[in-house]
């Protein structure tokens, strides 16, 4: 792999013959397509629409916190159609709202938009492959999202009109285990678990594909350390996903078995998570020797790595975009790779930090605290390197850059709040308060979602051959940035004030009453932010048809994808790419010799120059 095969011609033919000559029906081309680009765009559009659904659920949560028990306009009416409560939110409905908000955002938006949409679209293009290693599996990974969404949708109504799944995205047993434990613990919970499992199946198919493709299908000359950081991040994420996910799937099945044993007591007997002697709702005491903490261990063994699955790809993409928009190489490419690997490795040994108050052995608490503190280190290294990347660059202040800069600025906040929570004694106070909610929204919204906004605009011309409107994108950026901080920054203060999360009415408690005006301010910020997303949607869909036409390389970037036509045809590259250098040689002497400030990875060095001349 390290040396360059000059076999251009032979490649050319095999590609041209393999693809393009057979006619495809509309269905093969746009619906059940095996083309990674179509699948990526399918994922992208599905997840962006799901983002709006998740957002609507969030606004309903915010409505209740700002105007408790008052009829909610518009959204309340829509939900009222299903739940018939005249727009007023009942406590069990409230538990459903935050549960489904988190489930939709995590499992139907963030994970599939990063791996499914960007991973699919970018991996073959950036490594110079004509498609994924397993195109059919790839297609299935998209189409398995639909039964998953179907199960989540059924779960809304499965337990009757007022009770969707309401046990939190973490669904701790015994609450989520015994069907009698709450109105939302019935069939809704089972359907929710099916949905979760199917999302897992989809992710697993994707991950296997990504790993194989990245290992096996790189273009000649694309050595590991010439891969863009996006590819590194997708690679590491796929590894994380495929090692962690089986544990969640197993835990999900265990919970399903526990639940089915209550329905079919003569066929199935399991009590993985239910100890003996539990009395819910005046029912007879349970028999069995299960252990509810087992769920927490299994769940977080997956879900802590999962929070990095929800971030690493954005980190990679932002590194690419920051370099391009600053017209400079990424500062510390190898430290960037190693720190992602360190995050992934450490990510497997920190899950206990979600359980500091759970009654687990304090010696374990100390271990998990230290490993958690250490995971802040690679995060810090990455922040320093991003700032180094921008430093003294020739910055292009477009919406792509601004969203990336926001990614860095807001990730800092989320990383720093993590330190408070890693410190066990301090976390004992903060656990399950709004401080936690502030923390993960700064990393997941502040970092990941801003990275996604940037990524959409950056690779849009490659997807559709047209550019998105930069002015509209800037307005969207400013409104979202202000709305985001207005909504989530005060949550730190609510957490310090001791406001617990998942409360339908915190003001029942005297010491929280005075926080109502602050919550109203946050809700107004959230509404502004929510409506600003219509700018994104409008800009996205209108630009597909009316955007300014883009050539192959509108950003003057270096990656292999920019040597392909926009949009690339089936099989991607008209000239099979050969990679001659790293992806970030902006403003290099070699580029200057050509009279430009970028140099494509595919540009052959002038004859006579040693091919391995460019080192990092």
Partner 1 sequence: MKKFWALFFWFWPLVAILVCAVAPSRGWWFPSAPLSTLGHQIDGLFYLILIIVTVTFVGTQAALGYALWKGATKGSTQKAWFSHGSHKLEIIWTIVPAFILVFISLTQLDVLAEIRVISKFPDSVRNAPVAEVMARQFEWRIRYPKPGQQLMNVPQPGDLYFVNEVHVPAAIPTMINLRTQDVQHAFFVPRLRVKQDAVPGLIIPVWFEIEKAGEYELLCAELCGWGHYKMKARIIADSPKGVSEYLTRLEQEQNEDGVAEVDASKEQ
* Alpha carbons 203 and 198: distance in angstroms, whole number: 9
Cα dihedral 136, 137, 141, 146, rounded to 10, equals: 50
Instruction: Kindly write out the interface string for residues 66-105 of this chain, putting x where it contacts partner 1 by CB under 8 A and - elsewhere.
Output: ------------------------xxx-xx----------
Contact string (CB under 6 A) for ligand HEM, positions 149-178, x = contact: ---------------------x--------
Interaction partner, residue 240 (partner 1, ligand HEM, Cu ion, none; CB < 5-8 Å by kind)? none
Q: How far is the CB of 327 from partner 1 (least distance, A)?
A: 4
Nearer to ligand HEM, 411 or 586 (CB): 411
| Residues 6+ positions from 292 with CB-CB distance below 8 Å | 172, 173, 174, 177, 273, 274, 275
Question: Applying CB under 6 A, which of residues 72, 436, 512, 600 lies at the interface with ligand HEM?
Answer: 436
Indicate whether 294 belongs to the interface with partner 1 (CB under 8 A): no
Q: Is 12 in the site for partner 1 (CB under 8 A)?
A: no
Q: Give 45-74 as a DSSP string.
A: HHHHHHHHHHHHHHHHHHHHHHSTTSPPST
3-state DSSP of 466-485: ECCCHHHHHHHHHHHHHHHH
Residue 263 interacts with partner 1 (CB under 8 A): yes or no: no
Q: What is the largest CA-CA distance in the chain?
A: 85
Q: Give yes or no for residue 505 binding partner 1 (CB under 8 A).
A: yes
Q: What is d(CA 361, CA 378) in angstroms, rounded to the nearest whole number?
A: 27
User: Of residues 136-155, which lie at the interface with partner 1 (CB under 8 A)?
Assistant: none
Q: What angle do CA 220, 221, 225 make, to 5 degrees?
A: 130
The yes or no reply on residue 383 touching partner 1 (CB under 8 A) is yes
Choose the one of partner 1, ligand HEM, Cu ion, none that binds residue 311, judging by a C-beta under 5 to 8 angstroms depending on kind. ligand HEM
> DSSP assignment of 157-171, as one string?
HTT-TT----STTTT
Q: Is 379 in the site for ligand HEM (CB under 6 A)?
A: yes
Q: Is 310 in the site for ligand HEM (CB under 6 A)?
A: yes
Site for ligand HEM contains 440 (CB under 6 A)? yes
Burial call 128-155: b when 16+ CB within 10 Å, e when fewer: bbbbbbbbebbbbbbebbebbbebbebb
The residue number with the shortest CB distance to Cu ion is 304
**Contact between 304 and Cu ion per CB under 5 A:** yes
β-bridge mates for residue 569, sequence order:
572
DSSP 144: T
**Which of the listed partners (partner 1, ligand HEM, Cu ion, none) does 439 bind, with a CB threshold of 5 to 8 Å by partner kind?**
ligand HEM
Residue nearest to ligand HEM (CB): 418
Min dist CB 417 to partner 1, Å, is 8
Task: Decide which of partner 1, Cu ion, ligand HEM, none touches 280; Cβ closer than 5 to 8 Å per partner kind.
Answer: partner 1
Beta carbon nearer to ligand HEM, 469 or 487: 487
Stretch near Cu ion under the rule CB under 5 A, chosen from 301-309, 310-318, 455-463, 540-548:
301-309
Among 61, 125, 307, 599, binds ligand HEM (CB under 6 A): 307
What is the C-alpha separation between 368 and 378, in angstroms, rounded?
17
Q: Is 281 in the site for partner 1 (CB under 8 A)?
A: yes
Spell out the residues 6+ positions from residue 477 whose beta carbon is closer than 8 angstroms to its own: 399, 402, 403, 406, 453
Residue 183 within binding range of partner 1, rule CB under 8 A: yes
Question: How many binding residues for partner 1 (CB under 8 A)?
Answer: 115
How far, CA to CA in Å, does 157 sit from each of 151, 185, 391?
10, 12, 53
Give me the phi and psi of 358, to 5 degrees please: -85, -5
Can residue 421 be called a binding residue for ligand HEM (CB under 6 A)? yes
Asked if 333 interacts with partner 1 (CB under 8 A), we say yes
**Contact flag: residue 201 with partner 1 (CB under 8 A):** no
Tokens of 587: 């403003």
Any contact of residue 353 with ligand HEM (CB under 6 A)?
A: yes
Among positions 137, 153, 201, 376, the unique one binding ligand HEM when judged by CB under 6 A: 376
- Are 376 and 443 a contacting pair, CB within 8 Å? no
Does residue 297 belong to the site contacting partner 1 (CB under 8 A)? no
Q: Give, as one character, the DSSP assignment of residue 5.
A: P
Among 108, 123, 227, 402, binds partner 1 (CB under 8 A): 402
CB 163 within 8 Å of CB 183: yes
DSSP, collapsed to helix, strand or coil, labels residue 549 as strand
**Among the candidate windows 71-79, 297-305, 405-413, 566-574, which touches Cu ion by CB under 5 A?**
297-305
Q: Could you tell me the smallest distance in angstroms from the CB atom of residue 268 to partner 1?
A: 21
| Binding footprint of ligand HEM, residue count (CB under 6 A) | 23
The single residue among 80, 147, 345, 498 that binds partner 1, judged by CB under 8 A, is: 498
With binding defined as CB under 8 A, does residue 457 bind partner 1? no
Stretch of 115-123, 130-138, 197-205, 351-359 contacting partner 1, by CB under 8 A: 351-359
CA 188/CA 174 separation, integer angstroms = 15
Least distance from C-beta 437 to ligand HEM, angstroms? 8
419 belongs to the binding site for ligand HEM (CB under 6 A):
yes
Distance CA 435, CA 541 (A): 36
- C-alpha 338/C-alpha 518 separation (Å) is 42
| Stretch binding ligand HEM (CB under 6 A), from 150-158, 273-281, 418-426, 565-573 | 418-426
> Under the criterion CB under 6 A, does residue 580 sit at the interface with ligand HEM?
no
- C-alpha closest to that of 112 among 591, 527, 542, 448: 448
3-state secondary structure of 433: strand
Give yes or no for residue 492 binding ligand HEM (CB under 6 A).
Answer: no
Task: Pick from 154, 201, 217, 373 the residue near partner 1 by CB under 8 A.
Answer: 373
* Residue 270: how many other CB atoms lie within 10 Å: 17
Cis peptide upstream of residue 567 (ω within 30 degrees of 0): yes
How far does Cα 488 stand from its chain's mean position? 18
What is the 3-state secondary structure of 169-203?
A: CCCCCCCCCCHHHCHHHCHHHHHHHHHHHHHHHHH
List residues binding Cu ion (CB under 5 A): 304
List residues binding ligand HEM (CB under 6 A): 170, 307, 310-311, 353-354, 372, 375-376, 379, 415, 418-419, 421-422, 427, 430-431, 436, 439-440, 443-444
């Amino acid at each position: 792999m390290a040396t360059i095969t000059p076999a251009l011609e032979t490649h050319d033919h095999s590609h041209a013959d393999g693809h393009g000559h057979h006619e495809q029906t509309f269905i093969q081309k746009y619906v059940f397509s095996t083309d990674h680009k179509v699948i990526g765009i399918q994922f992208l559009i599905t997840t962006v629409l799901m983002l709006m659904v998740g957002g609507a659920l969030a606004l309903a949560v915010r409505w209740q916190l700002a105007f408790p028990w008052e009829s909610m306009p518009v959204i309340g009416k829509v939900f009222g159609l299903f739940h018939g409560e005249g727009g007023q939110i009942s406590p069990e409905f409230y538990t459903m709202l935050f549960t489904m908000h988190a489930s939709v955002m995590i499992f139907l938006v963030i994970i599939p938009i990063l791996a499914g949409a960007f991973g699919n679209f970018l991996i073959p293009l950036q490594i110079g492959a004509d498609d994924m290693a397993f195109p059919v599996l790839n297609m299935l990974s998209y189409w398995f999202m639909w039964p998953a969404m179907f199960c989540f949708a059924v779960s809304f109504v499965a337990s009757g009109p007022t009770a969707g799944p309401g046990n939190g995205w973490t669904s701790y047993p015994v609450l989520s285990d015994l069907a009698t434990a709450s109105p939302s613990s019935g069939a809704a919970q089972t359907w929710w678990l099916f949905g979760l499992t199917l999302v897992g199946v989809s992710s697993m198919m994707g991950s296997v594909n990504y790993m194989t493709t990245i290992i096996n299908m790189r273009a000649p000359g694309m050595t590991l350390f010439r891969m863009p950081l996006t590819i590194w991040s997708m690679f590491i994420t796929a590894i994380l996903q495929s090692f962690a996910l089986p544990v969640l799937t197993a835990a999900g099945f265990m919970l399903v078995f526990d639940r089915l044993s209550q329905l079919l007591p003569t066929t199935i007997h399991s009590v993985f998570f239910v100890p003996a002697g539990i009395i819910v709702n005046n029912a007879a005491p349970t028999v069995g020797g299960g252990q509810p903490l087992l769920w927490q261990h299994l769940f977080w063994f997956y879900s802590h790595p999962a929070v990095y699955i929800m971030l690493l790809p954005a980190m990679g993409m932002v590194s690419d975009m920051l370099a391009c928009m600053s017209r400079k190489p990424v500062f510390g490419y190898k430290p960037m790779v190693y720190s992602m690997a360190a995050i992934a490795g450490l990510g497997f040994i920190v899950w206990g930090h979600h359980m500091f108050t759970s009654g687990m052995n304090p010696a374990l608490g100390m271990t998990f605290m230290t490993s958690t503190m250490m995971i802040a280190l690679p995060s810090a290294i990455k922040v320093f390197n991003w700032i180094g990347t921008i430093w003294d660059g020739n910055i292009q202040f477009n919406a792509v850059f601004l969203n990336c800069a926001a990614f860095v600025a807001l990730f800092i906040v989320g990383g720093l709040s993590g330190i408070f929570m890693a410190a066990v004694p301090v976390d004992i106070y903060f656990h399950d308060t709004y401080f936690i909610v502030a923390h993960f929204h700064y990393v997941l919204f502040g970092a990941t979602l801003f990275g996604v906004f940037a990524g959409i605009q950056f690779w849009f011309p490659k997807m559709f051959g047209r550019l998105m409107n930069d002015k509209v994108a800037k307005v969207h950026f400013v409104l979202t940035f202000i709305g985001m901080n207005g909504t989530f920054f005060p949550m730190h203060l609510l957490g310090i004030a001791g406001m617990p999360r998942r409360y339908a009415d915190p003001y029942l408690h005297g010491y929280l009453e005075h926080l109502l005006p602050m919550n109203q301010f946050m809700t107004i910020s959230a509404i502004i932010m929510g409506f600003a997303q219509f700018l994104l949607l409008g800009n996205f869909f209108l630009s597909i048809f009316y955007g300014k036409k883009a050539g192959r390389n509108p950003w003057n970037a270096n990656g292999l994808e920019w040597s392909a036509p926009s949009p690339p045809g089936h099989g991607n590259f008209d000239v099979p790419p050969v990679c001659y250098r790293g992806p970030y040689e902006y403003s290099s002497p070699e580029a200057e010799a050509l009279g430009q400030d970028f140099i494509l990875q595919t540009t052959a060095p002038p004859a006579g120059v040693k091919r391995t001349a460019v080192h990092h």
